[in-house]
Amino acid sequence: KTIAAINELHARNYILVACSGRPLHSVPKEIYDLPFDYIIGNNGQEFLDRRSNETFEKEKLHKDELEMLHNLAIKHMCISNIHYEGFTYLIMAKRHLLFGIGFNVLNSMRFVFKQRKKSKVKYSTNIKSLKLEDNAKICFVSFASNLRSLQKEIDTNKKYHSFLVAKNWLEAQPIHISKGQALIDIAKRENIDIENTMAFGDGENDYPMLKAAGIGVAMENGLDKTKSVAQYIAPSF
């Protein structure tokens, strides 16, 4: 039903945008198979215009910023996840190593069930020993209470903002990068009044997008913050 709706909207000449928290290279093939005019990755840090095949990016977190944010994560008993094309760094305190390995095993099973390729994981307990490169975001894994505590501290620094994508997964990026700003950028690019846009989402990374859109729709099983700003709630089936 979703695919049929997307194809019908495309036939009616609506501009369609898939806006993902994933990097463009790891957006599932099923999304690329659909007639989206734009695919946005990393919550608005990178854009692909599929009609011109043009890609463009906004600034990333500097490697020193990644290290600083990771050190905050250690303080709040969280594990850092920094994803590059082809591999992922899973960085943690030594006392959390077994938890980190267990998390990765469970996460790998999810990819097996969905028949998707998972990137290679490199474990570390010393971020200074890694050859970090600038990255669009840094992710954190822990119990919800630890993540909320970390989120509160990150958000006191006005250079960054953080958001729960799921109850045990937090992400942080530069303050001016969000799905909401991506929607505004696309609307300007297409000369569309923002009031004539509609957005769908479930995680807190979708919150600024639903807030910016003319009409925001949240999933019934989405996070409370995102549902609070939506005009409509899509029911579960």
**pLDDT per residue over 176-191, tens digit each?**
999 999 999 999 999 9
Asked whether the predicted pLDDT for residue 39 surpasses 50, the reply is yes
Query: Strand 120-124 vs strand 87-91: parallel, antiparallel, or unpaired?
Result: parallel
According to the model, what pLDDT value does residue 100 have? 62
Question: Looking at per-residue confidence, does 197 or 235 come out higher?
Answer: 197
How far is the C-alpha of 151 from the C-alpha of 72, rounded, in Å?
Answer: 10
Q: Which two tokens stand for residue 101?
A: 């390995």
Could you tell me which of 237, 197, 196, 203 has the C-alpha nearest to residue 218? Answer: 203
Q: Give pTM, 2 decimals.
A: 0.85
According to the model, what pLDDT value does residue 109 have? 55
Asked whether the predicted pLDDT for residue 117 surpasses 90, the reply is no
Asked whether the predicted pLDDT for residue 119 surpasses 90, the reply is no
What share of residues in the chain are helix, strand, coil (percent, to 5)?
Answer: 40, 25, 35
How far is the C-alpha of 179 from the C-alpha of 31, rounded, in Å?
Answer: 17
CA distances from 219 to 66, 78, 234 (A): 31, 27, 5
How far is the C-alpha of 201 from the C-alpha of 166, rounded, in Å?
Answer: 12
Q: Give the E-state strand segments of the chain in sequence order.
A: 17-19, 38-41, 46-49, 54-57, 79-84, 87-91, 120-124, 138-141, 160-166, 169-174, 198-201, 215-219, 232-234
According to the model, what pLDDT value does residue 98 have? 65
Phi and psi at 78, nearest 5°, equal -120, 155
Asked whether the predicted pLDDT for residue 172 surpasses 80, the reply is yes
Asked whether the predicted pLDDT for residue 116 surpasses 80, the reply is no
Q: Which two tokens stand for residue 227?
A: 């549902």
Degrees, nearest 5: CA angle 69-209-189: 105
